[in-house]
A and B are shown apart, each in its own frame.
Chain A
Amino acid sequence: MKLRKYFALTRAGIIESLHFKLGMFVMVIGNLLYLILVYFLWRSIYASAGGGSVNGMTFTDTLIYLVLATALFNFMEMYTVWEIGRNIQSGKIVLDLLKPMSYRRYLFWSYSGGFVTQFFATFLPTFIAVTVLTHGAVPLGINLLWFALSVVLAVMINYSIDFIVGTICLFTESIWGINIMKQVIVLLLSGATIPLAFFPDSLRKIVDCLPFQSIYNAPLTILLQADPTPAEVLPTVAVQLLWAVGLTVVSSLFWKCSLRQITVNGG
């Protein structure tokens, strides 16, 4: 029964995103162009490196990694910060706060419709295309299950980070500035634009201590491992789990405290 109210939001989200038919078409074209660029760029890089593997990744590995990172990005990027910021500026947030569920959850489930459409419209086709085109370079085995689990955790971490950054919008009017900072940091340090394997060691050490690598690098690294034993995967997933729980708690608390602060000061 409780899930039904969440599913109602999911359904509304699906209808809404289908209305944007040309938007979807353009998004597919845009991704295609991006992937073409990625393909040729890395082909040149590998060509000048004399072929073979660079930093432990072959050309195919890198390509699969980056293609799926793009697909994951489309799937996970929900423009949460924009939405929160806009709702705060327009005052719509007051209405949302009156809804009989926590704002954090309300927003998440409102967007879950987008998750569903994006999953079927971009991620799944991309995944199938990559699997077919690379003639089995993507290992299909137990790693898929671990990957699915890892993606769920990644979604939670990503959403929590977005929500924390969105909460900052309660204090400042600069939605664009905050959002762009978040976006470039997450995309670079999570390994979404360049696999972390290519990072210089010193930088890599810092990045490993941050939650961002759990969003893209963790699930994609797991996916590229053929028949991993639990011992190989568990450390990665455990780190993800820690971040997911930790950031969920932090983001909820931060929101609550901020809201109290704001209502007390009548901002």
Chain B
Amino acid sequence: MKRKGFRFYLRIYFKILAQDLKSKMSYRADFIISTVGMIFTNIAGFVSFWIMFRNFPSISGYSYHEMLFLYGFSLLSVTPTQCMLDNNWNLRQQVYSGDFIKYCFRPINLFFYYESEIFDAKGLGQLAFGIGTLVYAWAKLGLAVTPLAVLKLLVFLAGASFVMAALQTAAAASCFWIENSFYVLDLAFRFRDYAKYPITIFSPVFRFIFTYIIPIAFIAYYPGMMVLRPSEVSLLSWLSPLIGAVFFYLAYRFWMYGASKFNSTGS
């Protein structure tokens, strides 16, 4: 047997992805309605944002377009979770019905195998929306478009997306312990909406909580500042990709631990 390295997994992922997209086409109506639903969600989010802030020149020292930048950044950083970890939403039912066992017999990483089964293509609508918002805000703010800025954006977006992925993975894994973990997952999903505001609106206590305990400030604020206001970033901004990676690793271990526990409940 050959060793199963990164390239092996990458190849498998794209093969499954291609098959999944092919089969999605056979449910075309569902695909279209879901995509429209996703676009609706984004439009509604944007309209709420616009209604709230259109009358005010700045909120806690952040201009409308700076807020918009963070908003777009947060949309982009939750997109990988939306697209690639969507099967987490089904985990609860699979565990509850015992069907989860069928994922446990393959000679590849369980988490990978489970998540690879579904690629949520409608998340790509969100991706487009996020890019649009970000580019618009970027232009309005007159930020320079240098290779360094773009590189920074990509690196810190990647780090930020690990944070959301970690939150969602850990929340989904809670179903291995508690019934109706839907609420937990739903809560993690709602964090997505909280992440788009600058953390400076909160009092120091909650700034601390949202940085160190429920690290949603790492979904948009800290990494986003690297591009938005490069001159006044804190150490936490610099560390955000590392924090994201570590946090995701812990969430992944938690998920795997839960899966091993699932099997020992007997069914």
Contact = CB atoms under 8 A, between A and B. Distances in A.
| A and B: bona fide binding partners | yes
Interface of A: 19-20, 22-24, 26-27, 29-30, 33-34, 36-37, 40-41, 43-45, 47-49, 54, 172-174, 176-181, 184-185, 187-188, 193-194, 198-200, 203
A41 B202 CA distance: 8
A194 B44 CA distance: 11
Contacts of B181: 22-23
A30 B59 contact: no
Given A188-B44, A198-B52, A174 B59 contact: no
A200 B44 CA distance: 15
B201 A23 contact: no
B37 A19 contact: no
Nearest to B56: A48
Given A48-B56, A194-B48, A172 B29 contact: yes
B30 A44 contact: no
B183 A184 contact: no
A40 B40 contact: no
A177 B33 contact: yes
Contacts of B52: 41, 45, 194, 198
16 contacts: A22-B184, A41-B201, A44-B201, A45-B59, A48-B56, A173-B30, A177-B30, A177-B36, A178-B33, A181-B37, A184-B40, A188-B47, A188-B48, A198-B51, A198-B52, A203-B51
A26 B182 CA distance: 10
Interface string B23-67: 000010110011111101100110110011111111110000000
Contacts of B38: 177, 180
A22 B35 CA distance: 33
B179 interface: yes
B40 A172 contact: no
Contacts of A40: 201-203, 206
Contacts of B41: 180, 184
Interface in B169-196: 178-184, 186-187, 190, 194
Interface string B97-128: 00000000000000000000000000000000
A36 to B, nearest CB: 6
Contact of A22 (B48, B54, B179): B179
A23 B179 CA distance: 7
A101 B29 CA distance: 33
Contact of B59 (A23, A33, A48, A199): A48
Interface of B: 27, 29-30, 33-38, 40-41, 44-45, 47-48, 51-60, 178-184, 186-187, 190, 194, 197, 201-203, 206, 214
Contacts, number: 113
A178 B37 contact: yes
B62 to A, nearest CB: 9
Contacts of A181: 33, 36-37, 40
B37 A176 contact: yes
Contact of A180 (B37, B48, B194, B206): B37
A23 B183 contact: yes
B194 A33 contact: yes
B249 to A, nearest CB: 24
A49 B203 CA distance: 19
Given A23-B179, A40-B203, A178-B37, A184 B44 contact: yes
Given A44-B60, A200-B51, A23 B37 contact: no
B31 to A, nearest CB: 8
B42 to A, nearest CB: 9
A36 B201 CA distance: 11
A185 B179 contact: no
Give the interface centre of B33, B179, B197 by most chain A CB atoms within 10 Å.
B33
A-B pairs with lowest CB-CB distance, top 7: A177-B33, A177-B37, A177-B34, A174-B33, A30-B187, A23-B180, A20-B180
B204 to A, nearest CB: 11
A43 B186 CA distance: 26
Contacts of B27: 173
A180 B55 CA distance: 28
Given A40-B203, A200-B51, A48 B57 contact: yes
B40 A30 contact: no
Contacts of A33: 187, 194, 214
A176 B34 contact: yes
Contacts of A185: 40, 44
Contact of B187 (A26, A44, A47, A194): A26
Contacts of A41: 52, 197, 201
A45 B45 CA distance: 17
Nearest to A179: B37
